[in-house]
Amino acid sequence: MKLYDYLPSGNSYKVRLMLSYLGVNYDHVLLDIHKGETQSADYKSKNPAGQIPLLELSDGRLLAESNAILFFLAEGTPYWPMNSFDQAKVLQWMFFEQYKHEPSIAVARFIRMYAMDDRAGELDILMPKGAAALQVMENHLADHHWFVGSGPTIADIALYAYTHVAGDGGFNLADYPNILAWLDRFSDHPKHMLITDLPA
């Protein structure tokens, strides 16, 4: 397999984490989104959306969208539950991540890291939305160790990616002790890697 990736991206990081946890070997192709490398004609012939991550299978099939890639990789592993209700709960949290969490927390992080001169005015709207998403997680984790079931699933992987770097976006994770405890539990994995780590 081949993963097209940009290291600081939380969406790409999800896939790198999953591949690491599963012990899957793959070719790693770094692209710089700031240099327009995902907008080239060659890359957009693979992913017309011009985004990362993109997984290219050994037979040439292509799969985009981080959470779709997580599902593909997780099926048949402990990271995807066996019963249909828990499967639906995993999807519930993954939809939450994409619709409530990522659009505020990840975007605030991007603005503070790369676009303060042009987009700082958006933070007044993004910060309360991000705090609300974190509070939903905090409340759930008050009496759950994981988002679904008795161990980590791809719901945890999806939510971990941008939550653990929420401080880059100006969110104070010290306000969310249950999230901090969950971050520690999640990262206590023998094959855990940092968001900026290259695959071994």
DSSP H or E stretch at residue 27: strand 27-30
- For 15-61, what is each residue's pLDDT tens digit? 999 999 999 999 999 999 999 999 999 999 999 999 999 999 999 99
pLDDT of amino acid 133: 98
Tell which phi-psi region holds residue 36, choosing left (phi > 0), alpha (psi between -120 and 50) or beta: left
State the average pLDDT for the chain: 97
What are the residues whose beta carbons fall under 8 Å from the beta carbon of 48, sequence distance 6 or more?
Answer: none
pLDDT of amino acid 185: 98
Say whether 200 sits in a helix, a strand or coil.
Answer: coil
Alpha-helical segments (H) within the chain: 10-22, 41-46, 66-74, 84-96, 107-114, 116-119, 123-141, 154-163, 177-187
- Asked whether the predicted pLDDT for residue 200 surpasses 90, the reply is no
**Once rounded to an integer, what is the mean pLDDT over residues 167-189?**
98
Report how far residue 37's alpha carbon sits from residue 20's, in angstroms, rounded to the nearest whole number. Answer: 25
Domains in the chain, start-ordered, CATH in brackets?
A: 2-74 (3.40.30.10), 84-187 (1.20.1050.10)
- Asked whether the predicted pLDDT for residue 166 surpasses 90, the reply is yes
